[in-house]
């Protein structure tokens, strides 16, 4: 008699997860919330899940920047992805970020982010600063609270406890965080008589240019205000401090371009002629630095942090 055919145990398909938002994640952005459950999934893939409606909040569609409320239920679809343990950052980069930690306590961490390093993985990048921090602090629950552009250097605050994540996210959402940047603008500002400050109150909206996301000033966009304070004038540039209460994507860059003084080295919003000029001057990055950050800790203590101007930006100023 022939042997019976072998039978294989049925393979269980990964199940959809319905995750209730805990109290210590109240106010967290949907994309950051998902990133903790879909470790290693590229940001582009994560955003596609949201955009195509596979991720739901209380049964409805939501945008990546949707602020979650405690008790809401997030539908997380089954996906194939690399585990976070597969992402290993080199030791020199880990040492670089270890040395860049400006402050660390039980609730929060502040890092002087280097220019050229993204905050998180995605868009072809296998890892970001958050992955580096999690690698050098494997026993800590570290979460992103906000973002700064890949080319921008300076102060970035991370939450190290659920309470810090909630309170810090609330402060950023309500515009109660002091954010001051140093920048070099092409051309000159024209502040009102006897004043040094130029205030730009112009809403910002996203649009697509050649398949690439591009921010622009538009009355139908989201409210945004930037205050530029003149620090020093040069023949064809202006060194300034920029303060923002809102945190729109590329806000300072867009507002600088809007008033006819784009950031030096900004290849996205500046002109080709300006880009060539600054490359010839030795500036190989965008001149924008998050110099100061002020937040209120969960204890109620007001805390301020500062990051020195990087040497390559200081050398650029000296050359002028």
Long-range contacts made by residues 276-283, C-beta under 8 angstroms, separation at least 24? Answer: 278/316, 281/316, 281/319, 281/320, 282/315, 282/316, 282/319, 283/312, 283/316
Query: Which residue out of 26, 131, 149, 266 is catalytically annotated?
Result: 149
Is 149 an active-site residue?
A: yes
If one counts every other C-beta atom within 10 angstroms of the C-beta of residue 10, the result is 6
CA 139, CA 281: separation in Å to the nearest integer? 44
- Would you give the distance in Å from CA 36 to the centre of its chain? 16
- Tell me the two tokens of residue 130: 């958050």
Cβ-count burial of 195 within 10 angstroms (0-12 exposed, 13-18 middle, 19+ buried)?
exposed
Q: Which H or E run contains 35?
A: helix 30-37
Catalytic residues: 149
């Amino acid at each position: 008699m022939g042997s019976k055919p072998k039978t294989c145990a049925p393979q269980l398909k990964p199940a959809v997860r319905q995750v209730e938002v805990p109290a210590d994640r109240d106010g967290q952005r949907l994309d950051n919330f998902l990133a903790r459950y879909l470790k290693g999934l590229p940001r582009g893939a994560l955003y596609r899940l949201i955009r195509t409606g596979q991720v739901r909040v209380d049964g409805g569609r939501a945008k990546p920047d949707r602020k979650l409320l405690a008790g809401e239920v997030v539908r997380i679809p089954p996906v194939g992805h690399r585990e976070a343990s597969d992402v290993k950052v080199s030791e020199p980069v880990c040492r670089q970020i270890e040395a860049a930690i400006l402050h660390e306590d039980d609730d929060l961490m502040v890092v002087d982010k280097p220019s050229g390093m993204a905050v998180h993985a995605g868009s072809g990048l296998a890892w970001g600063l958050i992955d580096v921090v999690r690698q050098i602090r494997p026993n800590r629950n570290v979460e992103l609270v906000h973002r700064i552009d890949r080319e921008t250097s300076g102060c970035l605050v991370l939450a190290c406890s659920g309470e810090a994540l909630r309170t810090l996210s609330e402060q950023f959402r309500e515009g109660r965080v002091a954010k001051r940047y140093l920048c070099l603008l092409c051309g000159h500002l024209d502040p009102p008589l006897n004043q040094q400050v130029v205030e730009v109150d112009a809403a910002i909206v996203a649009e697509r240019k050649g398949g690439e996301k591009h921010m622009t000033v538009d009355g139908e966009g989201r409210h945004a205000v930037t205050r530029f304070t003149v620090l020093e004038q040069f023949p064809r540039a202006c060194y300034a401090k920029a303060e923002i209460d809102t945190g729109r994507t590329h806000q300072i860059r867009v507002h600088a371009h809007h008033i006819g003084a784009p950031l030096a080295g900004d290849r996205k919003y500046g002109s080709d002629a300006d880009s060539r000029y600054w490359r010839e001057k030795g500036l190989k990055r965008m001149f924008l630095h998050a110099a100061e950050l002020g937040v209120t800790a969960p204890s109620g203590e007001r805390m301020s942090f500062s990051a020195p101007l990087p040497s390559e930006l200081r050398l650029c100023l000296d050359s002028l």
